[in-house]
Each structure stands twice: as structure tokens, then as C-alpha cells.
A and B are shown apart, each in its own frame.
Chain A
Amino acid sequence: MGELASGMAHELTQPMTAILAQAQVSRRLLAREDYKPLASSLDDVIDQTKRASSILERLRNWSRPQRGMPVEVDLSDILKNVRALLASEIDRLEVKFVVDVPDHPVVVRVDQVEIEQVVHNVIRNALEALDGQLDGEINVRMKKVSGKAILNITDNGPGIPEELRPQLFTPFYTTREHGTGLGLALCQRLIERAGGEIFFVPGSAGASFRIVLQLAATMSEAAE
């Protein structure tokens, strides 16, 4: 929760920077009786305040205990939100973050907050694995394959030793000093609740996880 809060705090400073500057501009314009540009500055203040409150809204949603209603959401947007939250961490660790998503929406019907939590968790694990490594790279690839959305998250870190792999999704199993052993276990629970699956993909140099979700379009087609 600590770095989630700091990610949110960072994201909030952007609209706040814009709001402060627009307000200070407005005061100067007012002082010189230059009223014409005032309206657009005030519009920006309003827009940016709304932007800030939607960030806060997401923070509230994240920490709520009960499940939200499944909604149709573009998986690319989920990825964008998570990337924004982790941006400062990605920057701090100087990790190259490569995203390859289709240019058309990849719509799934899920509880957005829960899926964001899963993607956040997997990417954060990758970041932690890359801590201290030069040329760290995370590859996120998304594609649609026969009615399914497939999200691959691969890092070029040290990878996961063969003997640990069977326990990856076991609750309370951890190799980290301060780990709870709940991260991936929770991910698996949430993804399964959304009717999808998450698994470790062996074979790449670092660690690679794949999340598979049913596409919303095919769900409604199936229902028809």
C-alpha cells in the first residue's frame, strides 16, 4: 500500500501543478485587467480538478473491500493506469518498459479494480526482480487470440529457479524477506474470479507471466 500511495501522490501532483499555475496566471491577468484569456484558464482549472478527483476516486476504489460490478473495459486502459502508478518506480530503477498492444480496444468484462490490482502486482514483481540490474527491461505484450485476451508480462531479470515454480501461486509461500507470500496467490484468485487464468510461462531468460481473459465481445456473441 505504501508505494501505491506514493504512486497516487505523484500522479496527483500533475493536475495540481496545472491548477496552481492556471490560478496564478488568472490572478495576474485579473490584475492587469486582461479578461479575455481568463475563461480558458478557469476551464483548465475545472478540468484538472476533475482529473485529480478521478485519481482520488481510483484510490478509494482500490482500497474498498467488496467487489465491484463487472464492466466492459479496455485492457489497454487498465495497463495505462497501472503504468502511470508505477511510472516513478520504473523511472527510479531505470527499467526500459516496452508495451505492445493492438491499436483497437481489447474489451473484457471484469471488475476493473481487481484486474488493475493483478497487473500492478505482476509488473511490480518484475520491477523488484530488476532492482539493481543494468539494462532491465519489461515487455508487456497484449493480443487477441480466438476470443481471448492474452497479456504477457516478461522481464529480463534473474528468472525463477525451476524448483520454486510449483509453489509460485501457493499462499504464504515466499522467498522474500518481507514478502507476505500473498501477491501471486491473490492474483490467481482474482483472475479466476474473472473467469480467466494466470500462469508462469517457462522458457524465457527472465520471468514471464501470462494472463488470459475472455473477450467481452465473444461473451455476448456466445450468449446470443
Chain B
Amino acid sequence: MSHPVYLVDDDPAVNRALSLLLSTVGFSVVTFSDPTSFLARLDDLEPGCLIVDIRMPLISGLRLQEHLAEHGIEWPTVVISGHGDIQACRRAFQNGAVDFLSKPVDEQDLIDSIQRGNEILERNLQANAERSEASKLLSLLTGREKEVLNLMSQGFSTKQIATALQVSPRTIESHRAALGIKLDTSSAVEMTRIWLHGSALP
């Protein structure tokens, strides 16, 4: 599945040319003339790969990257620059850029970077989906069930858990049965996976 490409460059000719190039090879491209107008529409945009020029008035591409990071948005970003500034390049990568390309940008380099960005985005989205799915499942559990699951995920046996919680093993068995129904699995490994994914959510 292909994600949209968001192109942010203050030069209209560059925006026009690169978006035409990318849409010709099959990407869906939305252009923005400055980071502010991109940020203003951020809430309506579906996750995509970002291509930003490093040098723009008001907010630089680097600042934009930092701004997104502060808001917990992990969209892959390709930084393009008109001059090979090592310092800026380093900062772009520190901010998590997928790639740093010098202008003029060759089509193949740009396409490769976006594809790499899309793979990263796909992975992030899937991990997020798994996490939120798991945390949704975990929200069905009672406090006691969560306690049991937590101990299970640390590798304790039913007997050990019963001792730790000062109840009978039969009680733990019935908690485990309830867990199996709510989490829709009888596998302890799968339950552990859900616990680790779902409880890791910030």
C-alpha cells in the first residue's frame, strides 16, 4: 500500500516539478509552500512520507522535524538541501531523517528514499496498530486479571502465582480461563505478547 507524500518547499517551481515527477511515478503528492501551512493541516492528514527543504523562511526544515518529534509524530522525513552543509546533515539524521539529499535531486535517489520511508512508515503503523489493539484488549481485564497476566508474562507457573497472590491454584486457573476468553487465545505466549505490547503504551 502506498502512502501520500507531503512535499514542503518554499520555491513554487521546485514544488511543481518534484510533485509532477513523483505523481508521474505513481505517488500521491500534496505540496505545501511552507512548514506553517503544513502544520496547520496536520490534523487532517493521513500518515505519509515528508520531503522538506532544509532552508525555508520562518521555520526551517530541521525545526519542522523537531516540531513533529515533539508532537509524537513519527512520519519518515527526507531532508533536501541546496548546499552540502555537514552540520545540517548531521542534525537532520539526529532528528531521525530517512535520508538527506542534495539539490538538484535525482529522481531515482528521491524515489528510493520515499520507498524506504514508506517501509518505515508501514512498520511504525503496524506496530502502533498492534499496540492499540493489545491495549484495547487489556482494558477489558480486571485488576486481578492484569496482576495474573503480568506474573504469567514473567514466566511464573500457576502454582507460583497462586502462592504469590495467596489464593488457591484453582482460582488462578479460573483467572486464566477468563483471560483466555477476553484475549481470545489460550496460548500463554500470545497472552504475554499482548501484555508486553499493550502495557508498553505511553
Contact = CB atoms under 8 A, between A and B. Distances in A.
B59 to A, nearest CB: 10
B60 A21 contact: no
B85 A25 contact: no
Interface stretch (B11-19, B135-143, B150-158, B183-191): B11-19
A87 to B, nearest CB: 6
Dominant SS among interface residues on chain A:
helix
Interface stretch (B68-76, B99-107, B170-178): B99-107
A214 interface: no
Contacts of A22: 17, 20-21
A9 B82 CA distance: 8
B11 A24 contact: no
A47 B17 CA distance: 12
Interface centre among A10, A25, A97 (most CB of B within 10 A): A25
A16 B56 CA distance: 17
Contacts of A6: 83
Interface string A30-63: 0000000100010010011001000000000000
Contacts of B102: 13
Interface residues of B, number: 27
Given A13-B103, A14-B103, A51-B13, A21 B21 contact: yes
A19 B104 contact: yes
Nearest to A47: B13
A9 B83 contact: yes
Interface centre among B13, B14, B60 (most CB of A within 10 A): B13
Interface residues of A, number: 30
Nearest to B88: A92
Contact of B83 (A10, A16, A19, A47): A10
Contacts of A44: 13, 16-17
A91 B55 contact: yes
Interface string B58-87: 001000000000000000000010110101
A7 B54 CA distance: 15
B24 interface: yes
B199 to A, nearest CB: 40
Contacts of B60: 91, 94
Given A10-B82, A13-B103, A18 B55 contact: no
Interface string A1-30: 000001001110111111111101100110
B83 A21 contact: no
A174 interface: no
A20 B13 contact: no
Contacts of B83: 6, 9-10, 13, 88
Q: Please give me the 3 A-B residue pairs with the lowest Cβ-Cβ distance, nearest first.
A: A21-B17, A13-B82, A18-B13
Interface of A: 6, 9-11, 13-22, 24-25, 28-29, 37, 41, 44, 47-48, 51, 87-88, 91-92, 94, 97
